[in-house]
Structure 1
Amino acid sequence: MDRLANTVRPYAWGSTTAIPELLGVEPTGEPQAEMWMGAHPGAPSRIDRGAGPVPLAEAIDADPEAELGADAVRAFGPRLPFLLKLLAAGSPLSLQVHPDLAQAKEGFADEQRRGVPIDAAHRNYKDANHKPELICALTPFEGLCGFRHPAQAADLLEGLGVDTLKPYVDILRASPEESALREVLTALLTAEHDAMAETVERAAVEAERLGAGDGPHAADYAAYAATAHHYPGDPGVIAAMLLNHVRLQPGEALFLGAGLPHAYLSGLGVELMANSDNVLRCGLTPKHVDVPELLRVVRFEAGDAGVLRPEAVNGEEIYETPIDEFRLSRFVVAPGAAPHPLDARTPQILLCTQGTIRLVTRVGSAAGNGGSDELTLTPGESAFVPAGEYVSLSGEGTLFRATVVA
Structure 2
Amino acid sequence: MDRLTNTVRPYAWGSTTAIPELLGTPPTGEPQAELWMGAHPGAPSAVVRDGRETTLTEVIEADPEGELGPEAVRAFGPRLPFLLKILAAASPLSLQVHPDPQQAREGYADEEARGVPLDAPERNYKDASHKPELICALTDFDGLCGFRRAPEAADLLAGLDVDAVKPYVDILRASPASDALREVLTAVLTAGREEIAATVQEAARAAERLSTGHPAAETAAETADQTAAETASEPGIAAPGTHARAYALCASLARHYPGDPGVLAAMLLNHVRLSPGEALYLGAGVPHAYLSGLGVEIMANSDNVLRCGLTPKHVDVPELLRIVRFEPGAPAVLRPEAGPGGEERYEVPVDEFRLSRCTVAPGAPATPLDARTPQILLCTDGQVRIRKVVNGGGGEDAQLPLERGQSAYVPAGERVEATGDGTLFRATVAV
Q: Deviations over 1:116-162 (max 9, x none)?
A: 00000000000000000000000100000000111110111111111
1:345 has 2:372 as partner: yes
Q: 1:246 corresponds to which letter in structure 2?
A: V
2:420 to 384, 392, 395: 395
Q: Percent identity?
A: 72
Q: 2:299 corresponds to which letter in structure 1?
A: M
Are the equivalent residues in 1 in contact too, given 2:376–2:427 (CA < 8 A)?
A: yes
Looking at structure 2, the residues matched to 191 and 234 of structure 1 have their Cα atoms a distance apart, in angstroms, of 11
Looking at structure 2, the residues matched to 301 and 38 of structure 1 have their Cα atoms a distance apart, in angstroms, of 33
**Aligned twin of 1:231:** 257
**Aligned twin of 1:356:** 383
**Aligned twin of 1:154:** 154
Are the equivalent residues in 2 in contact too, given 1:365–1:390 (CA < 8 A)?
A: no
Q: 1:313 corresponds to which letter in structure 2?
A: G
Looking at structure 1, the residues matched to 213 and 89 of structure 2 have their Cα atoms a distance apart, in angstroms, of 25
The list of structure 1 runs, each at least 4 consecutive aligned residues, that deviate by more than 6 angstroms after superposition, is none
**Aligned twin of 1:136:** 136
**Aligned twin of 1:378:** 403
**Aligned twin of 1:301:** 327
Q: Deviations over 1:153-211 (max 9, x none)?
A: 01111111111110000000000111101100000001111121111111112222222
Q: Deviations over 1:60-80 (max 9, x none)?
A: 011111101111111111110
Looking at structure 1, the residues matched to 142 and 90 of structure 2 have their Cα atoms a distance apart, in angstroms, of 11
Specify the SS of the correspondent of 1:375: strand
1:333 has 2:360 as partner: yes
TM-score, structure 2 normalization: 0.91
Q: Which moved more, 1:77-86 or 1:213-222?
A: 213-222
Looking at structure 2, the residues matched to 63 and 177 of structure 1 have their Cα atoms a distance apart, in angstroms, of 51
**Aligned twin of 2:80:** 80
Q: 2:410 corresponds to which letter in structure 1?
A: V
Shift, 1:216, TM fit: 3.1
**Aligned twin of 1:243:** 269
Looking at structure 2, the residues matched to 54 and 223 of structure 1 have their Cα atoms a distance apart, in angstroms, of 44
Looking at structure 1, the residues matched to 138 and 28 of structure 2 have their Cα atoms a distance apart, in angstroms, of 21
1:8 has 2:8 as partner: yes
Looking at structure 2, the residues matched to 350 and 199 of structure 1 have their Cα atoms a distance apart, in angstroms, of 47
Shift, 1:372, TM fit: 5.5
Specify the SS of the correspondent of 2:344: strand
Are the equivalent residues in 2 in contact too, given 1:252–1:309 (CA < 8 A)?
A: yes
Shift, 1:363, TM fit: 2.2
Looking at structure 2, the residues matched to 182 and 259 of structure 1 have their Cα atoms a distance apart, in angstroms, of 13
Are the equivalent residues in 1 in contact too, given 2:64–2:78 (CA < 8 A)?
A: yes
Q: 2:64 corresponds to which letter in structure 1?
A: P
Looking at structure 2, the residues matched to 75 and 372 of structure 1 have their Cα atoms a distance apart, in angstroms, of 33
1:275 has 2:301 as partner: yes
1:34 has 2:34 as partner: yes
Q: Deviations over 1:68-125 (max 9, x none)?
A: 1111111111110000000011110000000011000011011111110000000000
Q: 2:277 corresponds to which letter in structure 1?
A: G
Shift, 1:312, TM fit: 0.9
1:253 has 2:279 as partner: yes
**Aligned twin of 1:182:** 182
Are the equivalent residues in 2 in contact too, given 1:365–1:389 (CA < 8 A)?
A: no
Looking at structure 2, the residues matched to 209 and 140 of structure 1 have their Cα atoms a distance apart, in angstroms, of 26
Shift, 1:340, TM fit: 0.8
Q: 1:361 corresponds to which letter in structure 2?
A: K
Shift, 1:334, TM fit: 2.0
Looking at structure 1, the residues matched to 279 and 36 of structure 2 have their Cα atoms a distance apart, in angstroms, of 19
Q: 1:201 corresponds to which letter in structure 2?
A: Q
Shift, 1:24, TM fit: 1.0
Q: Deviations over 1:212-258 (max 9, x none)?
A: 34623222222222111100100000000000000110000000000
Looking at structure 2, the residues matched to 66 and 365 of structure 1 have their Cα atoms a distance apart, in angstroms, of 21
1:21 has 2:21 as partner: yes
Q: 1:405 corresponds to which letter in structure 2?
A: A
Looking at structure 2, the residues matched to 116 and 5 of structure 1 have their Cα atoms a distance apart, in angstroms, of 34
Q: 2:406 corresponds to which letter in structure 1?
A: E
Specify the SS of the correspondent of 2:334: coil
Q: Over aligned residues, Cα RMSD in angstroms? A: 1.5
Are the equivalent residues in 1 in contact too, given 2:370–2:417 (CA < 8 A)?
A: no
Shift, 1:365, TM fit: 7.6
User: Aligned residues, how many?
Assistant: 403
Shift, 1:313, TM fit: 1.1
TM-score, structure 1 normalization: 0.97
Q: 1:375 corresponds to which letter in structure 2?
A: L
Are the equivalent residues in 2 in contact too, given 1:14–1:88 (CA < 8 A)?
A: yes
**Aligned twin of 1:195:** 195
Q: Unpaired runs of 5+ in structure 2? A: 215-240
Shift, 1:403, TM fit: 0.5
Looking at structure 2, the residues matched to 203 and 312 of structure 1 have their Cα atoms a distance apart, in angstroms, of 45
Q: Deviations over 1:12-55 (max 9, x none)?
A: 11111110111111110000000000000000001001331111
**Aligned twin of 1:318:** 345
**Aligned twin of 1:211:** 211
Q: Unpaired runs of 5+ in structure 1? A: none
